[in-house]
Structure 1
């Protein structure tokens, strides 16, 4: 088996999750099993129902129970969601340990570091636990410097122009 890469999509621009999903579709079309674990997006957003249509080739998991994005929750709700998020991280560790898929995407996992829910060392441990033949994709706005050496491929997505106006 050839060595698969650790890829990171980061930056302030929109499209990190979309880029990882595009990679998921490419890998699924090659017959690979793809798991995507999404963090900080809440239980139900419009995209989740659509993403579920990609199963069984691309399996999407969200462990959060609230219906809103994490940053829209009260402090008490966030504390409750932190437990669910950590359950999602434990699931990611299990998937990596037993090599349950060919491609694992941890969508918005870098945001967990920004919020202090996990430490960058937790992500480094995940990377180093990864079976050599498994591709691991991480997304989030901010890239901790400690992850630069751990990754094989880093794509930074930034805003060049934004003409969107609030309606």
Structure 2
């Protein structure tokens, strides 16, 4: 039995200073998996195994593959560790390979915009990925600070705006909600 394939896949960007960019991409992944599509997510600058989406995908969603390409610690924008740069570059190479092979219908590059802003990876390489993606691969890029050149190439750009966040009232990140 053959599975469905997208005929005109687009490039989507979720950016802005509000909470919900990764969450939006995961909602899209869940929807796609529900319709029989295969999804591959690369999480740039993330290395903690505590994220609920990792556990859910492993336990319940065999058509959703999530790989992390970062350390568990925060990255210093002014002085990123060599490991942060190497992991981001490895993540970008994985993205190129997965997208070029075309086995996945939806590919999510989570926090790639931040990796670009921190100069961990090269913008021109990301633009080439967008330009050369197969017609049936929907590509999602998340993270703050999206470069103008990516906005210009994207088909859909959503800016998630922070209006109010419980963090500023002293509420720490909650398991199952923020991660």
- TM-score higher than 0.5: yes
Measure the CA separation in 2 of the matches of 1:54 and 1:5. Answer: 27
Please state how far the C-alpha of 1:121 moved relative to its aligned partner.
1.4
Residue number among 146, 160, 164 corresponding to 2:163 in the alignment: 160
Shift of 1:96: 1.3
- Aligned-residue Cα RMSD (Å) equals 2.0
Secondary structure of the structure 1 residue equivalent to 2:163: coil
> Aligned to 2:153, what secondary structure does the other structure show?
coil
Q: How far is 1:72 from its partner?
A: 7.1
2:58 to 37, 40, 52: 52
Q: Alpha-carbon deviation of 1:32?
A: 0.4
Residue equivalent to 1:32: 37
Return 5+ residue gaps in structure 1 as ranges.
none
2: CA distance, partners of 1:163 / 1:34? 31
* CA drift at 1:163: 4.4
- TM (norm. structure 1) is 0.88
User: Structure 2: how far apart are the matches of 1:106 and 1:132?
Assistant: 17
Q: How many residue pairs align between the two structures?
A: 163
Structure 2: which 5+ runs fail to align? 1-5, 172-179
Whether contact under 8 Å (2:46, 2:69) holds in the other structure is no
Q: Secondary structure at the match of 1:37?
A: strand
Residues 35, 104 of structure 1: 8 Å contact kept: yes
